[in-house]
Amino acid sequence: MTTTDEHVEAALQRYGHRADVLLQILVELQARVGWLPSALITRVAHALGLPRARVEGVAGFYSFLHLAPVGRYRVLFSDNIVDQMLGSRALMAQLCDTLWLSPGRVSEDGLVSVDTTSCTGMGDQGPAMLVNGQAIARLDPARVNEICELIRAQRPLDAWPAHYFAIDDNIRRRDALLGSAFVPGDALRAAIALGREGWLAQMQASNLRGRGGAGFTTAVKWQACRDAPGAQKVVVCNADEGEPGTFKDRVLLTRCAHQVIEGMTLAAWAVGAQQGLIYLRGEYCYLRASLEAVLAQRRRAGWLGAGIGGVAGFDFDVEIHLGAGAYVCGEESALLESLEGKRGTPRIRPPFPVTHGYLGRPTVVNNVETLAKCCLIAQHGGPAFAATGTAQSAGTKLLSISGDCARPGVYEYPFGVSIRQVLDDCGAREVQAVQVGGASGVTVAPYEFGRKIAFEDVPTAGAFMVFDATRDIFEVARNFVHFFAHESCGFCTPCRVGTALLRNTLDKLAKGNGSAADLTEIEDLDRLLKQTSHCGLGSSAPNPVIDGLQKFRPAYERHLRNRDFVPAFDLDGALARARQMTGRDDPGAHLDNATEAER
Amino acid sequence: MSTPHFLLDGLPVPFEEGQTILEAARAAGRYIPHLCWHPEFAPHGSCKLCVVKAAGRYVSSCAMPARAGWEVESDTPALNTRRRTLLQMLFVEGNHFCPACEKSGDCQLQALAYDLEMTTPRFTHFFPDRPVDASHPDVLLDFNRCIYCELCVRASRETDGKAVFALSQRGIHKKLVVNAESGRLADTDFAATDHAAHICPVGVILHKRVGFRTPIGARTYDAAPIRVVAMRTEADDD
Amino acid sequence: MTEPRKIRLATVSLAGCFGCHMSLLDIDDHLFELAGKVAFDRSPLTDIKRCGPCDIGLIEGGVCNAENVHVLRAFRANCHTLVALGACAVNGGLPAQRNHLDLGRCLTAVFQSRPGMDTGAVPDDPELPLPLDQVHPIHEVVHVDYFLPGCPPSGEAIWAFVSDLLAGRTPRVAHPLLHFD
Ligand SMILES: Cc1cc2nc3c(=O)[nH]c(=O)nc-3n(C[C@H](O)[C@H](O)[C@H](O)COP(=O)(O)O)c2cc1C
Ligand code: SF4
Ligand code: SF4
Ligand code: SF4
Ligand code: FES
């Protein structure tokens, strides 16, 4: 048996005792040891010359790092609404029943623990789970039974049937990016021939806008980074893909890894960066090996490393960092903090990453899809790219389609496609609503199905979740609000407390204890979150509720009692402990939750 | 050329390049509420009490550099309502029982609540369970009242050259931890003479044996409201 | 000229210490003025046992047991304007300091391990109201119109507040009358 100390030594060796890769060291130790005992935290802190409290603070931030013992088999069910619609909660109950345990608890023998986790990015092939960090999709009762057996038999994960871990690409519609064959190096060769200036000019002409959500013009970002004072510039690929319902970056990293990494290299060429980092969400750690292989291949081919494409001084290489279960780390400044081995708390801006990014250096952060699209621009020219899509949204967009439809998967469309068209293509029927852009996006009602996917109409980072007439839109929003409360980093007051209050209020409604006063309170919380949150997580957290109250108000009103005020807690339940202690059950030992006499 | 200025609630405020809205306002004798901002440290931007509307956008005035010509709203009923809501959130998130708190009357959270006429915590209380750390011979930590301004974290790191405090967990479960495997303040290198021991704006970091030396009713914010006290220079305080 | 109708005022102490009621009596000279303007309904100051229709209800104390819930609901039902008076009504106050403790252990500690209390069991008399597992401020149980914090609020603050209410002004309590301690 390897001792904990030996594990620590091995992890530190691998990362060269660098404090700025603390998170990577902790991720590795979590995988090796199964959890992070307090003595281990002390040792890591000591070895890296960091205050222990800081290491504890980082470890405590990320969902996939555990400061308390967890099961040797850690089962996490993806809890996005789409997984739930596919039956994830029932499967979790089945697993818990079979293994005699309750969610959130470790079994008495320490063998297994079961819980939920935020969307794992398998919405097209759910219900999905992670077992010790490894993704398993397409769960059904039979497979859950098999998994119970494997756990009981204490089979090591690498001896589980390989097909469990197979993840489908489900590409359903191809356009400019997915439809073209790519020869690694082609795009770079073209960009190098244009020279750094000429290449940036093509990017400008392309009007490419970021695909990660904010839609910022990529060339403007690159130029700002290029012009920023300071050497050692950095290009970061944002592969955190945490938005519930999104999985198109996963498919790009699987199918088009060369384009993504070549896109990073194209960015490096434009801005003069030497260092590249891919921040890969922990849920996709299974992709790491294939990505490393692509990196190695590209180094051998001379498309990474020193003197790329034979150009003296064009030196650039890429390193992969793993996330550890924190949606907020997709926000670019939180992502940089995380890359530096810290808690994923968004920074104050200004200054922006393009001038003060990773370790204070000028840094470009781009989404996976944005980077892949750069190859098309290098290959075919900026104007050709600008000629597709719409006036303000050039090019194509990958959509991750899931929910109530016959053909979930990844669809590539030119920008400007109507929502109705997309619904027809994916085989959706009796659609009540579509959530475009994920939990933080827009709830689109049927009267809006003529609207177009484009930055100037319905913008999206890629999620497209379909809900048919049988679904309760209130429950959809409640799921999203739970997600935001769980993922709030807790830095700023409005989001830390506000998302928890919003969650509690929606839960109150769900229990049938809502009142008109609660709707007023919800609207007030929404406003506060929008106006005062520190980052996009808090300011978009109320979106599903705002849209819901506007477009699906009856779905909320159904949960109201017809009176002004109902308490948020269960009055009768609050007497239960006293009943137990006194052995009483007379009428006086109960309270009617419902009656507040009318005013 | 004259110095640049912006308008704060309609009146001009001059500023120097790089100064934040809050700093410039303060230099001009104008108060903007704040909790996590402190003149000795870089802006932190977490409490959001300093929210203002600048050129139509809501920003944290402690962190946002001033811009010439901006119209900034601060002391308006709408913004003060937002601020009151933020205070209410801070009150229900922890356990604040002022009558039994040694900080009462000297507490910035309470004083701001007075100033913004917060009469009710309004929301349903979380009533979290946060144990007290009485291990240190000279100082008591009552985590029930922490507002996560990180002033102690910053003071310990930047002024004292130590790292006694840090934050762990996230979201509503976020908590303050101390730099010891035991989790006890006594097992850190913390000293009652540290700057971090004197910076908490609320009643978390309390010195033992000085309890209620100044009677309730004769304390800092009994004499003057926070909008007056906060404008004194640091030399007058503490 | 007809005399203006007297305002009906009811007061009650739930889980409180009567400190706020003492403070109410502390308004000294104003008591006469108050007596001229208001008629007291149910209150520790009167003998009326059930609250009838009232203009104003002042509630001292938080909600710690089933009886508190019934009384508070009756006040809400009968009082046009309901006021949380004092720290305990506003945020639970001292009694709410037990909220992070398990109620069962509190009861055991009181009834089974205290000298003089060793009857051996937690009383199960149906006449006794059962305690709630946590103490709640009154706004968590019914809708509350106004709040006057303070432990207790000073006589001066109460008078200013009540005068506002009687005169039909939105009560405003600001520095230096606004106090949480
Ligand atoms: C809470 C939050 C989460 C985000 N998550 C992601 C993400 O997972 N992937 C991503 O590319 N961008 C994400 N973003 C947007 C990034 O902050 C940033 O705008 C983007 O990576 C820039 O790349 P682009 O210009 O290529 O879109 C997120 C933003 C917020 C506020
Ligand atoms: S808005 Fe939420 S996620 Fe963003 S900084 Fe504030 S607490 Fe953190
Ligand atoms: S910290 Fe301030 S607000 Fe909290 S209990 Fe103490 S005095 Fe009251
Ligand atoms: S202990 Fe005090 S200074 Fe430290 S974070 Fe909490 S409130 Fe701020
Ligand atoms: S003072 Fe600006 S956010 Fe706290």
Alpha helices in C26-102 (DSSP H): 30-37, 66-78, 87-91
Residues B179, A348: C-beta atoms closer than 8 Å: no
Q: What is the pLDDT of residue A491?
A: 98
Q: Rounded to an integer, what distance in angstroms lies between the CA atom of residue A305 and that of residue B111? A: 59
What is the arithmetic mean of pLDDT over A238-265? 98
Q: Rounded to an integer, what distance in angstroms lies between the CA atom of residue A392 and that of residue A456? A: 7
Q: Rounded to an integer, what distance in angstroms lies between the CA atom of residue A446 and that of residue A431? A: 7
Q: Which residues 142-181 of chain B have a CB within 8 Å of chain A?
A: 147-148, 163-174, 177-181
Same-domain status, B40 and B118: no
Half-sphere exposure of residue A176, counting CA atoms within 13 Å on the CB side? 23
The H or E element that residue A382 is part of is helix A382-386
Does residue C19 register a pLDDT over 60? yes
Does residue B62 register a pLDDT over 90? yes
Q: Rounded to an integer, what distance in angstroms lies between the CA atom of residue B204 and that of residue A238? A: 39
Q: What is the pLDDT of residue A415?
A: 98
Fold (CATH) for A396-471: Ubiquitin-like (UB roll) (3.10.20)
Q: Which amino acid is at A560?
A: L
Is the Cβ atom of A83 under 6 angstroms away from ligand 1? no
Q: Rounded to an integer, what distance in angstroms lies between the CA atom of residue A169 and that of residue A124? A: 9
Instruction: Considering only residues C115 and A69, tell me which one the structure prediction assigns the higher pLDDT.
Output: A69
In chain B, % of residues over pLDDT 70: 97
Does residue A179 register a pLDDT over 70? yes
Backbone angles phi, psi at A173, to 5 degrees: -145, 125
Q: Which residues 337-396 of chain A have a CB within 8 Å of chain B?
A: 343, 348, 350
Shortest Cα–Cα distance, B94 to chain C (Å): 11
Indicate which of B90, B96, B170 best probes the interface with A, i.e. most A CBs within 10 Å of its own CB: B170
Q: What is the pLDDT of residue A554?
A: 93
Given a contact cutoff of 8 angstroms between Cβ atoms, the answer to whether A323 and A288 are in contact is no
Does residue A1 register a pLDDT over 70? no
Tokens of A189: 């060769």
Does residue B237 register a pLDDT over 60? no
Given a contact cutoff of 8 angstroms between Cβ atoms, the answer to whether B18 and B12 are in contact is no
User: How far away, in angstroms, is A367 Cα from ligand 1 center?
Assistant: 7
Q: What is the pLDDT of residue A12?
A: 93
Any bridge partners for residue A235, and if so which? Answer: A276, A364
Q: Which atom of ligand 3 is found nearest the CA of B110?
A: 3
The H or E element that residue B13 is part of is strand B11-14
Largest CA distance in chain A: 88
Q: What is the pLDDT of residue A595?
A: 57
In chain A, % of residues over pLDDT 70: 98
Asked if the domains A73-168 and A474-557 are classified in one and the same CATH topology, the answer is no
Same-domain status, B158 and B63: no
Q: What is the pLDDT of residue A597?
A: 44
Shortest Cα–Cα distance, B234 to chain A (Å): 25
Q: Rounded to an integer, what distance in angstroms lies between the CA atom of residue A59 and that of residue A65? A: 6
The residues near B130 (Cβ < 8 Å, ≥ 6 apart) are B94, B95, B143, B144, B146, B175, C100
Does residue C119 register a pLDDT over 70? no
| Residue B178 forms part of a structural domain | yes
Tokens of B20: 């934040």
Least distant ligand from the CA of B45: 5
Sign of the Cα torsion B38, B44, B50, B53 reads positive
Residues A599, C141: C-beta atoms closer than 8 Å: no
Does residue A538 register a pLDDT over 70? yes
Residues A534, B45: C-beta atoms closer than 8 Å: yes
Half-sphere exposure of residue A431, counting CA atoms within 13 Å on the CB side? 28
pLDDT, tens only, A266-303: 999 999 999 999 999 999 999 999 999 999 999 999 99
Any bridge partners for residue A76, and if so which? Answer: A115, A130
Q: Are strands B71-73 and B5-8 parallel, antiparallel or unpaired?
A: parallel
User: How far away, in angstroms, is C180 Cα from ligand 3 center?
Assistant: 9
Q: Rounded to an integer, what distance in angstroms lies between the CA atom of residue A240 and that of residue A256? A: 16
Shortest Cα–Cα distance, B208 to chain C (Å): 20
Tokens of A505: 């209020």
Interface predicted TM-score (ipTM) over 0.90: yes
Q: Rounded to an integer, what distance in angstroms lies between the CA atom of residue A559 and that of residue A555? A: 7
pLDDT, tens only, A90-116: 999 999 999 999 999 999 999 999 999
| Residue C116 forms part of a structural domain | no
| Residue C162 forms part of a structural domain | yes
Size of interface A-B (CB pairs under 8 A): 119
Tell me the residue range of the domain where B137 lies.
98-230
Q: Rounded to an integer, what distance in angstroms lies between the CA atom of residue A512 and that of residue C85? A: 30
Tell me the residue range of the domain where C149 lies.
7-97+131-166
Q: What is the DSSP letter of A324?
A: -
Atom 3, ligand 3: residue with shortest CA distance: B110
Sign of the Cα torsion C92, C93, C98, C103 reads negative
Q: Which band of pLDDT confidence, cut at 50, 70 and 90, is reported for residue B238? A: very low
A594 touches chain C (CB under 8 A): no
Atom 7, ligand 3: residue with shortest CA distance: B104
Same-domain status, B40 and B109: no
Does residue A262 register a pLDDT over 50? yes
Instruction: Quickly tell me which residue has 């996560």 as its tokens.
Output: B148
Choice from B62, B82, B87 to test ligand 5 binding pocket (greatest atom count within 8 A of CB)? B62
The residues near A487 (Cβ < 8 Å, ≥ 6 apart) are A118, A242, A326, A327, A328, A537, B171
Given a contact cutoff of 8 angstroms between Cβ atoms, the answer to whether A61 and A344 are in contact is yes
Tokens of A252: 């790009």
Given a contact cutoff of 8 angstroms between Cβ atoms, the answer to whether A339 and A277 are in contact is yes
**Cα–Cα distance list, C160 to B54, B99, B119, C145 (Å):** 37, 22, 14, 17
* Cis status of the peptide bond prior to A351, with omega within 30 of 0: yes
DSSP A242-311: -STT--HHHHHHHH-HHHHHHHHHHHHHHHTEEEEEEEE-GGGGGGHHHHHHHHHHHHHTTSSBSSGGG-
Shortest Cα–Cα distance, B169 to chain C (Å): 20
Does residue C123 register a pLDDT over 90? no
A557 touches chain C (CB under 8 A): no
Please count the structural domains in chain C.
Answer: 1
Any bridge partners for residue A365, and if so which? Answer: A236
Q: What's the CATH architecture for A173-386?
A: 3-Layer(aba) Sandwich (3.40)
pLDDT, tens only, B76-132: 999 999 999 999 999 999 999 999 999 999 999 999 999 999 999 999 999 999 999
Q: Which band of pLDDT confidence, cut at 50, 70 and 90, is reported for residue C108? A: confident
Q: What is the mean pLDDT of chain C?
A: 90
Atom 4, ligand 4: residue with shortest CA distance: B152
Residues A492, B164: C-beta atoms closer than 8 Å: no
Give me the residue spans of the domains in chain A.
4-61, 73-168, 173-386, 396-471, 474-557
Q: Rounded to an integer, what distance in angstroms lies between the CA atom of residue A130 and that of residue A64? A: 11
Q: Which band of pLDDT confidence, cut at 50, 70 and 90, is reported for residue C57? A: very high
Task: Give the nearest partner residue to B170 out of A38, A489, A501, using CB atoms.
Answer: A489
Q: What is the pLDDT of residue A548?
A: 96
Q: Which band of pLDDT confidence, cut at 50, 70 and 90, is reported for residue B1? A: low
| Residue C125 forms part of a structural domain | no
Please count the structural domains in chain B.
Answer: 2
What is the arithmetic mean of pLDDT over A505-527? 94
Q: What is the pLDDT of residue C21?
A: 93
Least distant ligand from the CA of B197: 4
Number of CB atoms found within 10 A of residue A446's CB? 16
Q: What is the mean pLDDT of chain B?
A: 95
Same-domain status, B124 and B194: yes
**Cα–Cα distance list, B80 to A533, A542, C23, C133, C136 (Å):** 16, 21, 30, 35, 27
Tokens of A255: 């199918």
Q: Which band of pLDDT confidence, cut at 50, 70 and 90, is reported for residue A598? A: very low
CA B120 to chain centre: 20
CATH number for A474-557: choose from 2.60.40.650, 1.20.1440.230, 3.40.50.740, 1.10.10.60. 1.20.1440.230
Atom 4, ligand 2: residue with shortest CA distance: A535
Tokens of A269: 């060429």
A485 touches chain B (CB under 8 A): yes
Give B-chain residues touching C147 at CB under 8 angstroms: 119-120
Does residue A385 register a pLDDT over 50? yes
Assign residue C138 the CATH number of its domain: 3.40.50.700
User: How far away, in angstroms, is B195 Cα from ligand 2 center?
Assistant: 28
Domain A73-168 CATH class label: alpha beta
Instruction: Considering only residues C121 and B223, tell me which one the structure prediction assigns the higher pLDDT.
Output: B223
Does residue B2 register a pLDDT over 90? no
Q: Which band of pLDDT confidence, cut at 50, 70 and 90, is reported for residue A37? A: very high
Q: Rounded to an integer, what distance in angstroms lies between the CA atom of residue A11 and that of residue A27? A: 9
Choice from B151, B179, B194, B195 to test ligand 4 binding pocket (greatest atom count within 8 A of CB)? B151
Identify the residues whose C-beta falls under 6 Å from ligand 5. B 34-37, 45-50, 60, 62
Same-domain status, B29 and B115: no
Given a contact cutoff of 8 angstroms between Cβ atoms, the answer to whether C44 and C9 are in contact is no
Q: What is the mean pLDDT of chain A?
A: 96
At A331, is the secondary structure helix, strand, or coil? coil
Does residue B53 register a pLDDT over 60? yes
Assign residue B25 the CATH number of its domain: 3.10.20.740
* Cα angle: A105, vertex A111, A117; to 5 degrees: 45
